[in-house]
A and B are shown apart, each in its own frame.
Chain A
Amino acid sequence: EDQVTQSPEALRLQEGESSSLNCSYTVSGLRGLFWYRQDPGKGPEFLFTLYSAGEEKEKERLKATLTKKESFLHITAPKPEDSATYLCAVNYGGSQGNLIFGKGTKLSVKP
């Protein structure tokens, strides 16, 4: 069964304390892996797309990487405004652009 697993479920950091979030997947024929940020009461906001192992994307304090079985979202020197739930989704090419979402990692950054 195609699956996407995110860990940890929740992560508490102090401001400036760097860390990584993990997204592992067991789909065959990965077509793309997407990272989203979701704030309370809002819809997911697109961050990155990764297509092939070894690829990296960066945006401000965030850096996403991809291997054959997992992706990491590295957060460098986080700020309180980085607090959100981060979602990972994969497209396995099953039907059109359909995605399988992980359950997310809730990140809290304390000042």
Chain B
Amino acid sequence: NAGVTQTPKFQVLKTGQSMTLQCAQDMNHNSMYWYRQDPGMGLRLIYYSASEGTTDKGEVPNGYNVSRLNKREFSLRLESAAPSQTSVYFCASSATGRSNQPQHFGDGTRLSIL
């Protein structure tokens, strides 16, 4: 009963490097989300995918790209990492994008950019 799985769990990058954070869910959910969590701030939405084949910007999309690879997988890419992107990144999924559906989260990727 894995739920939402994120890889890697930890990563250190140098400024300017690129990387892709992976997320997969096994709950047959339609909607998936990427958040970042910074000290003293609430979770902030980066991008979301309401259903397979669609993606939309959230509150803080600059510097990121996403790909909804299939119904299970939703990846987040940093093309040219910056120190301001040091954060903990969480992937979440929900059965649908409707407002009454709770989101279920993975355990995060802790990313440090030097």
CB distance from A85 to the nearest CB of B (A): 10
**Residues in chain A near residue B97, CB distance under 8 A:** 96-97
Assembly CA distance A49 to B100 (angstroms): 8
- Residue pair B4, A97 in contact (C-beta under 8 Å): no
* Residue numbers in B under 8 Å from A31 (CB-CB): 99-100
B95, closest chain A residue (CB): A97
Question: With A46-B104, A49-B102 as given contacts, are A97 and B43 in contact (CB-CB < 8 Å)?
Answer: no
Q: Given the known inter-chain contacts A31-B99, A49-B102, A93-B99, please indicate yes or no for A100 contacting B107, CB distance below 8 A.
A: no
| Binary CB contact string for chain A from 18 to 41 against chain B (1 if under 8 A, 0 otherwise) | 000000000000011010100001
User: What bracket does the count of chain B residues touching chain A fall in?
Assistant: 20 to 34
Give, as a whole number of angstroms, the nearest-CB distance from B15 to chain A.
Answer: 26
Q: Within the assembled complex, what's the spacing in Å between the Cα atoms of A64 and B82?
A: 40
Give the size range of A's interface with the partner. Answer: 20 to 34
- Distance between Cα atoms of A45 and B92 in the complex (Å): 11
Q: Are A45 and B98 in contact (CB under 8 A)?
A: no
Whether A97 and B56, one on each chain, are in contact in the complex, defined by CB atoms closer than 8 angstroms, is no
Question: Given the complex, which residues of B lie within 8 Å of A98, measured CB to CB?
Answer: 33, 45, 48, 58
Chain B's closest residue to A45 (CB) is B105
Closest residue of A by beta carbon distance from B51 = A96
Residues from chain B with a CB closer than 8 A to the CB of A43 are: 4, 90, 92, 105-108
Known: A46-B104, A98-B48. A103 touches B99 (CB 8 A): no
Q: How far is the CA of A99 from the CA of B103 in the complex (A)?
A: 9
The contact of A87 among B43, B44, B98, B104, by CB within 8 Å, is B43
Q: Which of A45, A46, A95, A98 counts the most B-chain CB atoms under 10 A from its CB?
A: A98
| B42 interface contact, C-beta 8 A | yes
* A residues in contact (CB < 8 Å) with B: 4, 31-32, 34, 36, 41-46, 49, 51, 87, 89, 91, 93, 95-104
